[in-house]
Amino acid sequence: MNDAEVEDESLTSRIQHAKVQACPECGSTRLMRDYECAELVCMNCGYVIAAKLADRGP
């Protein structure tokens, strides 16, 4: 695993534990959690903010 992968994994982990309220790319607050792909996606620019999100249950 290279440094970029470690940094990306760390960012994803922090995002999963924090409540993201805006896209880091465009600043939009229109975010969608895609449960099928396990991703948090910006509806404005399409940026995948987090991947491999864990389902926290009902």
Domains along the chain with CATH numbers: 3-51 (2.20.25.10)
Q: Report the mean per-residue pLDDT for the chain.
A: 76
pLDDT-based confidence at 27, cuts 50/70/90? Answer: very high
**What does the pLDDT read at residue 23?**
94
Q: Which residues pair with 41 in a beta bridge?
A: 32, 48
Q: Environment class of residue 40 by beta-carbon count within 10 Å: exposed (0-12), middle (13-18) or buried (19+)?
A: buried
Mean pLDDT score, 41-47 = 95
Any idea which residue has 């449960």 for tokens? 35
Nearest to 32 by CA among 56, 54, 50: 50
pTM score over 0.85: no
